[in-house]
Structure 1
C-alpha cells in the first residue's frame, strides 16, 4: 500500500503530496495517474505500453510507478521531503535516497 509523504519545492514554496510503495491507484487507473499528476509525456508513454502489452505493463508499473514519480520530483525537479522525520526517514529508505 502506498504511503503519503509531503514534498516541497524550496525555490517556489510549492507543496505536493508524493507517495512511495505499491500503487493501487495505478493498478486500477493506469496511465490516467501520471496524466492527473501533470506528467502528460509520461502518461502518453504509459498509454502506449499499456495498449501494446495488453495491460501487463499496468500490473508491472503498479509496483514501480510511485518510486519513479518521486525520483523525478526529488532529483529532476528539485523537490525535497517535507514531512515529519519518521515519514521522511521511511521514504528515504523505500526510495533508496541518501540525506
Structure 2
C-alpha cells in the first residue's frame, strides 16, 4: 500500500496515491480496474498479455524446432517479467495521481497532510506563502518523514519476507 492522499473535484473526493504501488505489484491489472482508470487498465492488460504470450510462444518455438536445450531460457524470461512488474509498481501510482491532477482534481481545503505529501514527492510545487511559513514547513517535513518511514518499513518487511521464502525454497 502506498501513501494515500485525498483529492477533490466537483464535490467528489477520491484517493490519490504516492510511493511504490504494492497492490499493482501483486494484483496487476485489477488495480486500475478497481480505481476505474481505463488508461492504466489498458496498459496493464498489454503488459499482462506480453507476459503470458511471449513465454508460451518461445516454448512452442523451442519445442517445434526440437531445440530442448534452450528451455532453460524460459525461467530467465519469466524472472525478467517480475522485474518489469516491480518497475511498474514504481511507475503506476505516480502516473495515476499525476493524471488525476492534470484532469482537474485538487487538494482538499485545509488538508495539510495531502499537501505535504504531494509537494514532498514533487507532484506539486510549494507556494511562496508556504515557504515563508516556517511552522507550516515544519509540519510538512514531519508528515513527509513519517510517510517515508512507513514506506521504508514496508520495503524492509517485503525484503525480509522475500528472503525467508527463498531460504525456505532452498532448504526444503
Give the shorter-chain TM-score range.
0.7 to 0.9
**What is the distance in 1 between the residues matched to 2:121 and 2:93?**
10
Residues 1:21 and 2:47 are matched in the alignment? no
Deviations 1:6-65 (A, max 9, x none): 0001xx211011110011111100121111111223212211123314544322110111
Q: In structure 1, the residue corresponding to 2:121 is in which secondary structure?
A: helix
Q: Is the contact made by 1:50 and 1:58 (CA closer than 8 Å) also made in structure 2?
A: no
Q: Is the contact made by 2:98 and 2:123 (CA closer than 8 Å) also made in structure 1?
A: no
Hey, which of these two has a bigger chunk of helix by percent? 2
Q: Is the contact made by 1:20 and 1:95 (CA closer than 8 Å) also made in structure 2?
A: no
Name which one, 1 or 2, has greater alpha-carbon Rg.
2
What stretches of structure 1 of length at least 5 have no aligned partner? none
Hey, which of these two has a bigger chunk of strand by percent? 1
What stretches of structure 2 of length at least 5 have no aligned partner? 52-77, 127-172
Residues 1:72 and 2:70 are matched in the alignment? no
Taking only aligned residues, the RMSD between alpha carbons, in angstroms, comes to 1.9
Equivalent of 1:62, from 61, 83, 89? 89
Q: Which has the higher contact order (CA 8 A, sep 6+)?
A: 1
Q: In structure 2, the residue corresponding to 1:6 is in which secondary structure?
A: strand
Normalised by the length of structure 1, the TM-score is 0.82
**Alignment-derived partner of residue 6 in structure 2:** 6
1:87, distance to aligned residue in structure 2 (A): 3.2
Normalised by the length of structure 2, the TM-score is 0.50
Residues 1:89 and 2:89 are matched in the alignment? no
Q: In structure 2, the residue corresponding to 1:91 is in which secondary structure?
A: helix
